[in-house]
Structure 1
Amino acid sequence: MSQPVPPPGNPFADGAYPAAPQPAPVRDNVALGVLAALVAALVGGIVYGVVAGSIEREIGWAAIGVGFLAGFAASKVGGPNRILAVAAAVFSLGAVYLGQLVGIAVIGSEELNVPFAEMFFQHFDLLTQAWNESKDPMTFLFFVLAGVGAFGGARKAAQ
């Protein structure tokens, strides 16, 4: 018995099958991922500080967002390396601290009627002193939230 003849115009005639999709190339550039995490953390920290200073309070989800941004950028650019998640978490801690200082500088510059740049760069010692005097358990909770966000962002980008 002979095999049936496929109708004309059939792309699977003669045993032709579509090629299996190729896996995406694995990104594995740790240095570029660390750089991306640093840049994302700095940008996120500055935005976090400006928002916190403008509304004169900190927001927990914004701290998570800073960490998530750093972790996501690190893994998206550098690949699924766990070192990138740790680097993003460390950078996000620094970014939240920077954001808290920026927020204090925004508030101080408005209250004292001095430019933000002068407040931040020429009176940095006063900012750190104000941060030390105003820190409470919630301050450190924001650090934890940023670190958790960094690991979450790295995991999401690696999927």
Structure 2
Amino acid sequence: MSQSVPPPGNPFAQGAGPGQLPQTPLPPAPPAARSHVGLGLVAALVAALVAGGVYGAIAGGIEREIGWAAVGVGFLVGFAAGKAGGSNPALPVVSAVFSLGAVYLGQLVALAIIAGKELHVSASDVFFEHFDGLTQVWKDELDPLTFLFFALAAFAAFSGAKKASV
């Protein structure tokens, strides 16, 4: 019976002879950080317009504002910006600003719906033909809760963009 003798050197080296390093594959490179600022801005703007309109429709339908809905508006705007735009540091800030606009738009839409019900006209007529009166009513109705909703939406947008870009 003959026994096979292992070659001299490291028996665990795959194909490496004496004095050579083993040939092991390198790990794949980590993915590059993506940053599509333009796409993130467009996504945030579209999300702000849609979320603001839905927020206004809900608030106008039930004739009151809901704090968690303002948080949802902000988070949706930030999430859209972060997912589409990546980790650019400007996107959370822009998302916060867009969410302020979205909540303002939603409050105006809600007022237009409520005024349209009372005046027996369409909300779009109130919104587009009497915008100056609508903004004056909004100013007259300002209270600390309104500013709290703005702050909640901006915070949710900023943190949503940060979390979504990871």
TM-score interval (norm. to shorter): 0.7 to 0.9
Between the two proteins, the alignment pairs up a number of residues equal to 149
Larger Rg: 2
Contact 2:85 2:165 in 1 (8 A): no
Distance (Å, rounded) in 2 between the aligned partners of 1:128 and 1:139:
14
Which residue of structure 2 aligns with residue 95 of structure 1? 102
Q: 2:158 aligns with which of 132, 144, 151?
A: 151
How many Å apart are 1:99 and its aligned residue? 0.4
Residue identity opposite 1:106 in structure 2: I
Residue identity opposite 1:75 in structure 2: G
Unaligned runs of 5+ in 1: 5-14
Contact 1:53 1:102 in 2 (8 A): yes
Q: Equivalent residues in 2 for 1:56-135 (5 A)?
A: 56-135=63-142
CA-to-aligned-CA distance 1:5-53 (integer Å, 9 cap, x gap)? xxxxxxxxxx998984653443211121111111111111111100010
Q: 1:49 aligns with which of 56, 59, 76?
A: 56
TM-score normalised by structure 2 residue count: 0.82
TM-score normalised by structure 1 residue count: 0.85
Which residue of structure 1 aligns with residue 148 of structure 2? 141
Residue identity opposite 2:117 in structure 1: E
CA-to-aligned-CA distance 1:45-76 (integer Å, 9 cap, x gap)? 11110001001111111111111111111111
Unaligned runs of 5+ in 2: 13-21
Distance (Å, rounded) in 1 between the aligned partners of 2:135 and 2:28:
55
Distance (Å, rounded) in 1 between the aligned partners of 2:71 and 2:164:
15
Residue identity opposite 2:34 in structure 1: R
RMSD (CA atoms): 2.0
CA-to-aligned-CA distance 1:94-114 (integer Å, 9 cap, x gap)? 110000000000111111110
How many Å apart are 1:144 and its aligned residue? 0.2
Contact 2:37 2:86 in 1 (8 A): yes
Ranked by relative contact order (alpha carbons within 8 Å, sequence separation 6 or more), the top structure is: 1
Q: Equivalent residues in 2 for 1:1-20 (5 A)?
A: 2=6, 20=27
Q: Taking structure 1 as reference, are residues 16 and 108 closer, same or farther at Cα in structure 2, changes over 3 Å only?
A: farther
Contact 1:40 1:70 in 2 (8 A): yes
